[in-house]
Structure 1
Amino acid sequence: MTQPPARTGNRVFTLAALFLAAAAALASPAQAYREPPSLAEKVAAGELPPIDNRLPAEPRIIDMTASGQVEGRYGGDLNTIIGRARDVRLMMVYGYARLVQYDENFRFVADLVREVDVEQGRIFTFHLRKGHKWSDGEPFTSEDFRYWWEDVANNEELSPAGPPAVLLVEGELPTVEFPDPETVRYSWSRPNPDFLPAIANAAPLLIYRPAHYLKQYHKNYMDLAGMSKMQQIRVRSWAAQHNQLDNLYKFDNPSLPTLQPWMNTTEPPATRFVGERNPYFHRVDKNGHQLPYIDRLIFHTSDTKLVPPKAAAGEADLQARYLYLSDITFLRENEERSGYRTLLWHTVSGAHLALFPNLTCEDPVWHSLFRDVRFRRALSLGIDRSEINEALFFGLAIEGNNTVQPASPLYEDRYTTTWATHDSKRANALLDEIGLTTRDGDGIRKLPDGRPLEIIVETAGESPEQSDVLELIGASWRKIGVKLFTKPSQRDALRNRVFSGEAMMTIWSGFENGVPNADTSPRELAPTSQQQYQWPKWGQYHETKGAAGEPPDLPEAVALDQLYRDWYAAGDEASRTAIWHEMLDIHVEQQFTIGIVSGVVQPVVVRNGLRNVPEEGIYNWDPGALFGIYGIDRFWFDKG
C-alpha cells in the first residue's frame, strides 16, 4: 500500500515557492468557454448571461493531467449521505473553494484570488480576479473584504470578542487595506504563519462576506429615518438576524450568495439537501468547460448506523463519512450487486481515536484528579491497545499515543510508545501512589470523597466504532479498579457539555494534522481553541483574548503556550524543529490526551463510472477537507 507523502501539512513558504498555480491562472483556455448544457435554457431565455459574461476575466484554469485526472463530461447528480441536517456545511467543505487552498501535495495554490504576494511572512497582498462574481451575479470585490473587516469583525454587536484570534500576532491585529476593487492587503509587524493555513482550512477563516446581500440587514446601512416606530423597534435585534443569515460556512441559508461550485437550494429542516451548480463558478478546464462537471450535489440525511447498509445497497455515489474499517468486508461483498467499488484511503490524524480528560471540568474532585499526571498515565497504561487493534482493526492500526505519525519528519518512536504500552501492574501502582487505595466490593476504587471511581466517557453517538472501543477499554480498566460508562448524545449537546465543564471525558479523533514539519504551526499542541476537549476553557480564553474562559494554570500547559509563542519568533528551521520536539515531549509525558490507535485506513465507496476519484488518497479534515483537495468539481460520470 502506498504510504502518504513524507512532508505534508500546514507549510509556510517563501514567495518564490508559494503559488505554483500562478502561471496557469494567467493562461488562456485552448478554446472558447463551454456552456454547461443544464444552463443553456436559462441563457437562451435571458435568465442568465452567456458564459463569457459570467466568468472572471482570468478564471482559474485547471490542468487535470497534473493530478492524473482526465477532462470530463457534464451531467448527473452526485448522491451522498450525511448524519444530520447541519452536515449540509459539507457542501462548503467538499467544494473547497478558498482564497488559497492546498493542492494534492499539500502545497498552497491561489484559487478564488488570482495570486497572493507574501513579503517577509507578514504582508499578504491578495489580487482578486477582475470580473469575479458571486452566485447571484453580483461582483466579488475588495468591498466584500472591507465589509467583513469593518462592519462585522470589528462591530461589537456582531462580534463581541472582536476579530478571530488567528489574526492576532503577539496581541497585534493586522493593518487591513483596500487599495482598489481587486486588491486587499493584510499586514503585521511580525510574521503570521497561521494566516494562510487558516484560510485554506476545511472550516476556513472567511475574511470576506457578500456585502451587497448582508448590508440590507446591517444597522449601519438601514434607513432608520424612513422606518415606522414598530420597524425601528425590530431593528434592535438586527445583530441576531444578521448573524443568523451570515452562514457562509454553515451553508444553510439558500439566499446567501456563495463562491462554491454548488449552491444549497434547500432550507432546513429537511432530509434532502440539493446543491445546484453555481453558474458563476470561477474554475474551467483547459478546454474551456466551466466546472463543476456534475450538475447537482445531493445530501440525504440518515441515521448514522444505517449508512453502511445504505452504501452497500448502492444509495450513495460517493461515501466515506460513517464508514469504518470494520465495514470493509461487508461493503466489498456487495460491490458487484450494487455497482460500486470500495477504495482504501490513508488517514493522517494524530490518532484515529483518543480519550480527552477534561482538565477544566467543573466537578472539584475530578478537576483535581485529571490534573494529576500520574492519573492520566495510569489510564493510558491500563488500555490494552493490542486487543483493540486485533479485535476491531484487523491488527493493521498503529497502537499508541496521539502524536505525529511516521510520515512526519518530526516523528520519533518514543512519541508513539511512551506511557502507551499495556501495563496493568504499573498503572495500579500509580493509582495507589495517588492514594486511591480504597475499593468497594466489586474491586472498584473510591474517589477521595467516597464516590466510586466511575469515569463517564461521552460520545457524539454517531460511531459504533467508538462504542466498541470503549467497551474494550472498560474491560481492561476494571483490572486497575476503574469503571467506565459510556454516555452518547448529539454532537452539539456533547460540545456544549464539554465547553461548560459538565463532561468529564470524551472520545474523539486526535490532532488533525499528524504529519507536520518544522514550519507547520504547532497551535494544536498549545491551548489555543475551545474545540480542544482536554482544556476547552483554556482554549476559549485564548480565542476570546481573555474575555471568556480561564487562563492556563498548569505549569506544563503554560509552558506549551509559551513555546507556541516562541515558535513564531524562531528565526530558523533548527529552532522551530527544537520547539516542536520540546512540545511533543511535553505532550507524551503529560498524556493530556490519551491516544488509542492511529493509521486506520478509511473505506471510500465510489459509484462505478464516477471518474477522477483517486484510487489512493488521504482522507483528512485539515489539511485536506476530506474530498476537497482532490477537486470534487472535477469528478464526473462516465455513462459509457
Structure 2
Amino acid sequence: MGRQPGIRGGTLRTLIGGQRDVRLMPINSYSRLVGYDASLTLQPDILAEYTVEDDRIYTFHLRDGHRWSDGSPFTSEDFRYCWEDVIENRDLLRGGPPADLKVDGEVARFEVLGPLSVRYSWSRPAPAFLTRLAAPVPLVLALPSAYLRDFHARYQTPEKLGDLIVRYRVDDWPSLHTKVSRQNRPENPDLPTLEAWRPRTAPPAEQFVFERNPYFHRVDADGVQLPYIDRWLFNVSSSEIITAKTATGESDLQLGGISFPDYTLLKHAQHSYPQKVSLWTRTQGSSVALMPNLNCGDPVWRGLFRDVRMRRAMSLAIDRAEINKVLYYGLARESANTILPESPLFKPGYATAWAQHDPDMANALLDEVGLARRDRSGTRLLPDGRKAGIMVESAGESTLETDVLELITDHFREVGLPLYIRTSQRDIFRSRALGGAVMMSVWQGLDNGVPTSEMSPNELAPTSDDQMQWPLWGLHYMSAETSGEGPDLPAARQLVALLRQWRQTTTSAQRVDIWTKMLEIHADQVFTIGTVNGALQPVVKSSRLRNVPEEALFGFEPTSYLGAYMPDTFWYQGAD
C-alpha cells in the first residue's frame, strides 16, 4: 500500500498496560539521527546527511533551522553538551562512556566541525555505530542543552541546584539531571524533544497525553509538516482487559496487549465498531521461549543448565507441532529460537536443530547428565536426592505464554521433569534473575529475527543484563567488565570473541561469515529453547485511519514496532 497524502488533525487513542509503557512512544514515533525505512535500509532522518569513511569516520550534518519542540535551535552545541558535559562526566556516567562508543577499549574521538556539523571517529572500524543510532532505544548523542544546563553543576549555582533537588525529590544533582533528561522515558513534559509528539503529562496518571511537535522536521510530498495526528493518548488499563476494551472500540490503534488467540474476538468486533483488524508477522526468533539461567544460584541446577545435553534434552521434549496446532491454528512455524526465513542470513538448519519432538532421545540425554534416578511416580531426582522440578518464571504479561507453558508442562512431565510456573512483575523478575534466584524464565526469543549482516549480532552474545539465559555475563559486558561475571563457558566466550571480531569488520562478506558462525553455535548449543516463530500479530485500527500497512513485520527490533512505518504519516479520513 502506497502512502497517501493526508489531512492534519484528530486524536489517536492507544491502551497501555501500565505507566511504564509510555516508553513505547519514542519507540513508535521513531525519530532518529539515522533510521531504518520499511525495507530496513538505513537512511538519514534527523540528520540532513552523513558520510562514512572506512567504517571509522562518521561525519554528521544537521538541518539548517531545525529546532527542538520548545523552539530552541538544534545545533552541534547539543552534541557537544551531550559528549563533554554528560558522557565524559564521571558524576553522571560513573562507568565512563558506554560500550557502544568504544572499539577495543578506545573511546570515539568527538569533534565539532561547525554549528551544523560534528564528527565521531576511531582508529579502527566501528561498523555497529549507525545501527545503534537506529535502534528502538538508541544511543543518545544529542541533548537539549539550553534546557538541561539549568540542572547541571557546571552551569547552575549550588543554591539553585539545591532548590531543584528538593523540588524533584532526588538526592543529588546527578540524580536530578538524569531524571529530567531521560529521552527514552518521556515522563518530563518540560524536556524538549525531536520526536513527532511531545509529552504533556507527568506520572502518576491514568492518561498520558502527547501533542504534535510544532517543530518536527518531516514533511509530506506536498510540503505539509508532519505529523498529521494532533494528539496521541496513552490510556492506562489493566493488561488483562486490553483485548476486551479494544474489542469495544476504546482504542484507535492497538498492537500491544493483544495476541493471536484474540484474533477471533477482535475480528468479530468489526461488525459492531468502526475498526479493522490486520495480521502482521512477528519478527521474534521465537514467540515464546524458555531461558534456562546459566547463572542460576543453585549450584546443582547451574551445573545441569551449563551441560549442553540438558538443554538439548529439554528442547527435544517439546512437541512444537502440538503448540502450533492448538494455539496458532497451524499458521506459525515450528522452530528453534533463531532468525526467520525473511532474513537473508537464514539457513533451514538453524530452525530444525534439536527442535524435533523426540522424547526417547530426551530421556537418554537426561539419563546421561545424571538424572537417571526416579521416584515411584516417575519424577527424576537430582544427584542430591531432590526432585528435579523446574520452576519457570514469567512476567505474567501474556496469556499466550501461559497457554504455551501449560502444554510444555505436559511435554516435560512425559520425560520425568515437573514444571512449575511462578509469576512476578517484570522489574522484580529481572532483579531476581540477576541475583541468581530465577531457575528458568519464559520470554520472547530473539528480538531481531530478520537481521542483515550489517546489523550487529550483539543479541547472540552475552551483552545485556536483561538476557535471562545469562544475566550476569551480560551485565559483565555492558558494564565494561566492572560488574557481573565473565562467561566461563567456552561457547559463550567464543560468542563474545566473534562479536568483537564483527565490530572490527570492514566488508559485508566478513560480517556474513561471523553471523553464520554465531548462528551455528546457537543452533548447536541451545542456549535458549524456542517453540514457534513467524506467528501472526493482530493490529487493530480505526476504520478511518489511513496509511497503516495491511501487512508488515511486527517486532521491537529492527522495526521499532510501528516506527519503520512512520506513524507521523498516519491520518484520519474525515478528521476535524
Same fold (TM over 0.5): yes
Q: 1:160 aligns to what? A: 94
Is 1:85 matched up with 2:15? no
Change over 3 Å in CA distance of 1:630–1:511 after alignment to 2: same
2:566 equivalent among 621, 628, 631: 631
Letter in 2 for 1:553: D
Structure 2: distance between partners of 1:271 and 1:227: 32
Cα offset, 1:466, TM superposition: 0.2
Q: 1:387 aligns to what? A: 322
Structure 1: distance between partners of 2:427 and 2:196: 28
Q: Deviations over 1:490-529 (max 9, x none)?
A: 1111121222222111111111221223333221111122
Q: 1:440 aligns to what? A: 375
Instruction: Map 1:201-350 to 2 at 5 A.
Output: 201-224=135-158, 237-350=172-285
Change over 3 Å in CA distance of 1:230–1:511 after alignment to 2: closer
Q: 2:117 aligns to what? A: 183
Q: Could you tell me whether the CA contact under 8 Å between 2:128 and 2:503 is conserved in 1?
A: no
Change over 3 Å in CA distance of 1:230–1:351 after alignment to 2: closer
Structure 2: distance between partners of 1:324 and 1:524: 24
Structure 2: distance between partners of 1:578 and 1:238: 47
Helix, strand or coil at the partner of 1:355: strand
Structure 2: distance between partners of 1:81 and 1:476: 35
Cα offset, 1:278, TM superposition: 1.1
Q: Could you tell me whether the CA contact under 8 Å between 2:127 and 2:505 is conserved in 1?
A: no
Q: 2:33 aligns to what? A: 99
Letter in 2 for 1:155: N
Structure 2: distance between partners of 1:91 and 1:228: 30
Helix, strand or coil at the partner of 1:605: strand
Change over 3 Å in CA distance of 1:236–1:483 after alignment to 2: closer
Q: Could you tell me whether the CA contact under 8 Å between 2:318 and 2:411 is conserved in 1?
A: yes
Structure 1: distance between partners of 2:514 and 2:214: 47
Q: How many residues align?
A: 573
Is 1:420 matched up with 2:369? no
Cα offset, 1:570, TM superposition: 4.1
Change over 3 Å in CA distance of 1:229–1:479 after alignment to 2: closer
Helix, strand or coil at the partner of 2:531: strand
Is 1:501 matched up with 2:441? no
Greater CA drift, 444-453 or 623-632: 444-453
Q: 2:557 aligns to what? A: 622
Q: Could you tell me whether the CA contact under 8 Å between 1:134 and 1:258 is conserved in 2?
A: yes
Structure 1: distance between partners of 2:78 and 2:52: 21
Change over 3 Å in CA distance of 1:230–1:183 after alignment to 2: closer
Q: Could you tell me whether the CA contact under 8 Å between 2:55 and 2:506 is conserved in 1?
A: no
Helix, strand or coil at the partner of 1:113: coil
Helix, strand or coil at the partner of 2:106: coil
Q: 1:140 aligns to what? A: 74
Structure 1: distance between partners of 2:153 and 2:377: 64
Cα offset, 1:626, TM superposition: 0.6
Cα offset, 1:413, TM superposition: 1.6
Q: Could you tell me whether the CA contact under 8 Å between 1:375 and 1:430 is conserved in 2?
A: yes
Structure 1: distance between partners of 2:235 and 2:151: 31
Q: TM-score, normalised by structure 2?
A: 0.96
Structure 2: distance between partners of 1:148 and 1:621: 26
Q: Could you tell me whether the CA contact under 8 Å between 2:153 and 2:161 is conserved in 1?
A: no
Structure 2: distance between partners of 1:537 and 1:409: 32
Structure 1: distance between partners of 2:251 and 2:5: 23
Is 1:193 matched up with 2:127? yes
Q: 1:598 aligns to what? A: 533
Q: Could you tell me whether the CA contact under 8 Å between 1:538 and 1:551 is conserved in 2?
A: yes
Letter in 1 for 2:207: R
Letter in 2 for 1:183: S
Q: 1:41 aligns to what? A: none
Structure 1: distance between partners of 2:230 and 2:379: 59
Helix, strand or coil at the partner of 1:275: strand
Cα offset, 1:453, TM superposition: 1.1
Helix, strand or coil at the partner of 1:486: strand
Q: TM-score, normalised by structure 1?
A: 0.87
Structure 2: distance between partners of 1:625 and 1:465: 22
Q: 2:419 aligns to what? A: 484
Structure 2: distance between partners of 1:323 and 1:604: 8
Q: Deviations over 1:332-357 (max 9, x none)?
A: 11102111111011122211121111
Structure 1: distance between partners of 2:163 and 2:536: 59
Helix, strand or coil at the partner of 1:360: coil
Helix, strand or coil at the partner of 2:456: coil
Alignment RMSD: 1.8
Is 1:371 matched up with 2:312? no
Letter in 1 for 2:38: E
Letter in 1 for 2:364: A
Is 1:515 matched up with 2:450? yes
Q: Deviations over 1:522-570 (max 9, x none)?
A: 2111112222211111111111111111111101111111122222344
1:114 equivalent among 26, 37, 48: 48
Cα offset, 1:362, TM superposition: 1.7
Structure 1: distance between partners of 2:262 and 2:396: 18
Structure 1: distance between partners of 2:164 and 2:61: 40
Q: Could you tell me whether the CA contact under 8 Å between 2:63 and 2:116 is conserved in 1?
A: yes
Q: Deviations over 1:340-383 (max 9, x none)?
A: 11101112221112111111122212211110111111110111
Cα offset, 1:231, TM superposition: 9.0
Structure 2: distance between partners of 1:617 and 1:556: 35
Cα offset, 1:227, TM superposition: 6.5
Q: Could you tell me whether the CA contact under 8 Å between 1:251 and 1:264 is conserved in 2?
A: yes
Cα offset, 1:330, TM superposition: 1.1
Q: Deviations over 1:452-496 (max 9, x none)?
A: 111111111110000000010001100111111111111111121
Identity among equivalent positions (%) equals: 49
Q: 2:488 aligns to what? A: 553
Letter in 1 for 2:480: K
Q: 1:401 aligns to what? A: 336
Change over 3 Å in CA distance of 1:608–1:227 after alignment to 2: closer
Q: Deviations over 1:422-441 (max 9, x none)?
A: 11111111111111122233
Change over 3 Å in CA distance of 1:216–1:451 after alignment to 2: same
Is there any run of 5+ residues in structure 2 with no aligned partner, and where? none
Structure 1: distance between partners of 2:317 and 2:255: 32
Helix, strand or coil at the partner of 2:184: coil
Structure 2: distance between partners of 1:173 and 1:371: 34
Structure 2: distance between partners of 1:570 and 1:198: 16
Structure 2: distance between partners of 1:229 and 1:265: 26
Letter in 2 for 1:392: L
Structure 1: distance between partners of 2:170 and 2:567: 41
Structure 2: distance between partners of 1:417 and 1:230: 61
Instruction: Map 1:557-596 to 2 at 5 A.
Output: 557-596=492-531
Structure 1: distance between partners of 2:507 and 2:230: 48
Q: Could you tell me whether the CA contact under 8 Å between 1:219 and 1:235 is conserved in 2?
A: no
Q: Could you tell me whether the CA contact under 8 Å between 2:336 and 2:355 is conserved in 1?
A: yes
Q: Flag as ranges the 4+ runs of structure 1 deviating above 3 A.
A: 226-236, 568-575
Structure 2: distance between partners of 1:126 and 1:307: 42
Letter in 2 for 1:332: K
Letter in 2 for 1:118: V
Cα offset, 1:211, TM superposition: 1.3
Change over 3 Å in CA distance of 1:228–1:106 after alignment to 2: closer
Letter in 1 for 2:186: F
Letter in 2 for 1:131: G
Q: Could you tell me whether the CA contact under 8 Å between 2:127 and 2:504 is conserved in 1?
A: no
Greater CA drift, 544-553 or 512-521: 512-521
